[in-house]
Homo-oligomer: A and B are copies of this chain.
Amino acid sequence: MFIKVVNPNTTWSMTATIEACARAVAGPGTRVEAVSPTMGPPSIESHYDEALAVPGILTEIEKGERDSVDGHVIACFGDPGLDAARELAGGPVVGIAEAAMRAAAVLGRGFSVVTTLARTTGRAWDLAHRYGMRDACRGVHACDLPVLALDSDPDACRIVTEACLDALSEDGSDTMVLGCAGMADLCAHISAEIGVPVVDVVAAATLTVPSLVTMGLATGKRGEFATPPPKRYAGLLDGFTTGG
């Protein structure tokens, strides 16, 4: 079993952390490889960043297909490019927000999300609606740390923990979701601090892929998610291809 984890931003130190979190949960027979695209933003903190991350993500999905990976994870909480990636890939493609919300929903009636900057909470709500989590998602809260500060700010863990406590108290949720791939390594510590299950978004998605593959399941290809009609892309994107 070979799972490719795409960190949609170009910060390889974060990619390394993500890979470590993914490998920590993958079974012994599972090969996990995390990459950053060669193009795109160093962190995703706006719709603009997300839009510019997508072509690089899709290039990595394309490469993954050529490398015969069994499935992909897209490791950014906005689940960027997920629909397009599902068109390209033969195996399952799992976004970390979708996987984490679905895992959290199995653990109780409601969950809270703590994410980075306030400007990204709208996107998280969009996804909650899309995934049918409008009621299960009790709140999306920003801790006001930029994505890369999760790594560099010595107070990051404390700040996220406090945001979690505030969220729990306000929302009355059963579980927490830390809404950024860069927070994956904080989950165990924070869960111990706050006393509720904390879903590691990277782990949740990484574990979803082999489950689907074991069942022989992949994206349904009879309609919307069939391989896109091949065409020639212009300008900088010349060279993009759906693999045909």
Q: Using CB atoms and an 8 Å cutoff, list the residues of chain A in contact with chain B.
A: 10, 25, 27, 37-43, 45-52, 54-56, 58, 81, 83-84, 86-88, 92, 94, 98-99, 102-103, 105-109, 118-123, 125-126, 129-136, 146, 168, 172-175, 188, 191, 195-197, 199-200, 203-204, 207-208, 211-212, 214-226, 228-229, 231-238, 240, 242
Name the B residues within 8 Å of A212 (CB-CB). 103, 106-107
- Tell me how far the C-beta of A173 lies from the nearest C-beta in chain B, rounded to whole angstroms: 8
Name the B residues within 8 Å of A129 (CB-CB). 129-130, 135
- Tell me how far the C-beta of A230 lies from the nearest C-beta in chain B, rounded to whole angstroms: 10
Please tell me how many copies of the chain the complex holds.
Answer: 6
Given A130-B126, A222-B196, A234-B10, decide whether A92 and B108 contact each other with a Cβ distance below 8 A.
no
Name the B residues within 8 Å of A238 (CB-CB). 39
- Tell me how far the C-beta of A172 lies from the nearest C-beta in chain B, rounded to whole angstroms: 7
Given A211-B208, A216-B191, A224-B109, decide whether A55 and B45 contact each other with a Cβ distance below 8 A.
no
**How far is A217 from B224 in the complex, measured between Cα atoms in Å?**
32
Shortest Cβ distance from A61 into B: residue: B48
Given A52-B240, A231-B42, decide whether A203 and B223 contact each other with a Cβ distance below 8 A.
no
Asked if B106 and A92 sit within 8 Å, CB to CB, the answer is yes
Name the B residues within 8 Å of A46 (CB-CB). 84, 87, 228-229
A-B contact sample (15 more), CB < 8 A, given A52-B58, A174-B223: A25-B215, A27-B27, A39-B235, A40-B233, A47-B84, A51-B81, A86-B108, A132-B133, A172-B223, A174-B221, A175-B217, A197-B217, A203-B214, A207-B215, A236-B236
**How far is A175 from B219 in the complex, measured between Cα atoms in Å?**
8
